[in-house]
Amino acid sequence: MRGDRVPVATPLPTELLRLTECEDGPVLVRGARVVVDAQGVTHPVTRPVVALCRCGASQRLPWCDGVHKRLGKRETSTG
């Protein structure tokens, strides 16, 4: 299941973590020092802003590599 591959960003306890969701794309993360993926592997963050894959199809997980653009729009639930 692709959802098992979606990473989690973890800020240091005293830092502000800012997230921006891109429609049908990654989450842009500002303020993170590390990202812990679904397998518990820690990835150091060396840039002020990083893009985390939400589609699970990236070949560079946990980072977005742009492949989501080829997957098309996600269906959304309207209730």
Nearer CB in complex with ligand FES: 18/66? 66
User: What is the C-alpha separation between 31 and 15, in angstroms, rounded?
Assistant: 7
Q: Phi first, then psi: what are they for 22, rounded to 5°?
A: -95, 130
Single-letter amino acid, residue 13 = P
* Residues β-bridged to residue 36: 8, 42
Do the Cβ atoms of 8 and 33 come closer than 8 Å? Answer: no
Nearer CB in complex with ligand FES: 36/79? 36
List binders of ligand FES among 16-55 (CB under 6 A). Answer: 25-26, 53-55
Q: How far is the CB of 56 from ligand FES (least distance, A)?
A: 7
List binders of ligand FES among 58-77 (CB under 6 A). Answer: 58, 64-68
Q: Name the residues that contact ligand FES, by CB under 6 A.
A: 25-26, 53-55, 57-58, 64-68
